[in-house]
Each structure stands twice: as C-alpha cells, then as structure tokens.
Amino acid sequence: MSRLFGWSKSNTIPKPTLNDTAATLDLRVETINKQIAIIDHELQAYNKLPPARKASQKSRAMALLNKKKMYERQRMTIEGQSANIAATTFGISNIAIHKEMYHGLKDAKNQLAKGYKDLKIEKVETLMDDLDDQLLDQDEMNDTFSRTLGQDTYITDADLENELADLATEESGIQSNARYTDLHVPSVPVQPIDTRNKTGVTTKNGTIVGLPKAPVTGMKN
C-alpha cells in the first residue's frame, strides 16, 4: 500500500539538527579515544619486554603506532568539524537574541519619541526660568513679612559691634571673679587660751567674755 499511495506525512523522518550532528561527532571522538587508549596500553606492554622479545615484536609495535597516528588524525578532523558546528549553533542562537534586542530597542525608541513629543527643551528652559523668578519673589516677600514693626530706631552695624564688645568685657570679668573665688585662703591654727593667766581675762566655761585687762603699774617718783 505504501508503494501505491506513498508514505504519510506522519511517518516522515525528521531532519537531523545541528545539535544531533554535534552529538554524533562527540560519540565518534569518544570511540576513537578508546581505540587510542587500547593502543597505548599495548605499546606500554611492548616497552616493558626484554630486548630479545622487543626485536621480534617490533613490526607489530610499528603497526600499532601507525594505527594510533591514523586515529589521531581522524580525531583532529572530527574535533574541527565539531568546533565549526558549535560556532554555527552559537551564531544561530544569536539570531533570535539579536531579533529580540532589535525589537526591544525599536519599541523603546518609539516610547521615548512618544513620551517627549510634547516635552521640548525650550518649554523646560522657560519653566525653570519662571520657577526661579517665583522663588526670588517669594524670598523678597518673606523678608518683607519678617520686618520688625512698631520701632522707631533701627539697629546699625556699629550698635552690633558695641554690644558684642560689652558682652566680651562682661564675660571676661565673670571669668576673673571665678578665678579669685577658686583661691583658698589657708586657715590659721588657733591655740587655746590659757585661762589661768594673770592678765585679767575673765572667762566663763572656758569662753572669753571680756577683754584682757592691762596690768596696773605705779609711777615712781
């Protein structure tokens, strides 16, 4: 039936992608690496043989080395193909990214153009100048409202300097008095007064209640 009516579309084999090809090449490289490892193992065993046996096995060793070189050339070729496929796959993936970037930047450009359609630099400069003038007018108005009312005299610079000088003098005097106050006068020890004197001092309970009497002396003729 298939020869008469042909294959249905559902049975069509999908074409291999670059990723499938890269996977196939990686498998081939893996197989070649295993073959090279086997040859290396046999060559190492050959190298451990005594000289007499080495001579008889030399032709086989040369064939193994030739085979190894062939595998290495094949591996180099396949690795180069795999690198080209990887670079191509990267370029294809970048196409979608570049398209997304292009459409995104294009939309952003349209939004910027639409947003700044009614916003011109001349209008912005005029607005800023108007705001600057209004703020200056506001400062002048604030100064006017804060002016002192109900006073006939105005303070001058000389008045301010005199007031500051008086304050400095007053502060200097206060500091000088504080230094004198901090001085401590040493106390003078007071010796107890002997109440058994003959100078005429009258005491009461050891407390002086009168002045000392001067001794009476007679005048000699």
Full pLDDT tens readout for the chain, 221 residues = 455 555 555 567 788 888 889 999 999 999 999 999 999 999 999 888 898 888 888 888 999 999 999 999 999 999 999 999 999 999 988 998 999 999 999 999 999 888 888 888 888 899 999 999 999 999 999 888 887 766 655 667 787 778 778 878 877 777 666 665 555 555 555 555 554 544 444 454 555 555 555 555 544 44
**What is the pLDDT at residue 152?**
56
Question: Residue 38: which of 58, 62, 67, 59 has the closest Cα?
Answer: 67
Q: Amino acid identity, residue 187? A: S
Do the Cβ atoms of 208 and 201 come closer than 8 Å? yes
- CA–CA gap between residue 7 and residue 13 (Å, rounded): 11
pLDDT at 183: 52
- Cα gap 198→119, rounded to integer Å: 118
Q: What are the residue ranges spanned by the domains of the chain?
A: 18-118+155-173
**What 8-state DSSP symbol labels residue 182?**
T
Q: How far apart are CA 30 and CA 24, in angstroms?
A: 10
* pLDDT of the residue at 155: 64
Residue 188: strand, helix, or coil:
coil
Token digits for 184?
């401590």
Which DSSP string corresponds to 148-164?
--S-S----HHHHHHHH
Q: What is the pLDDT of residue 18?
A: 86
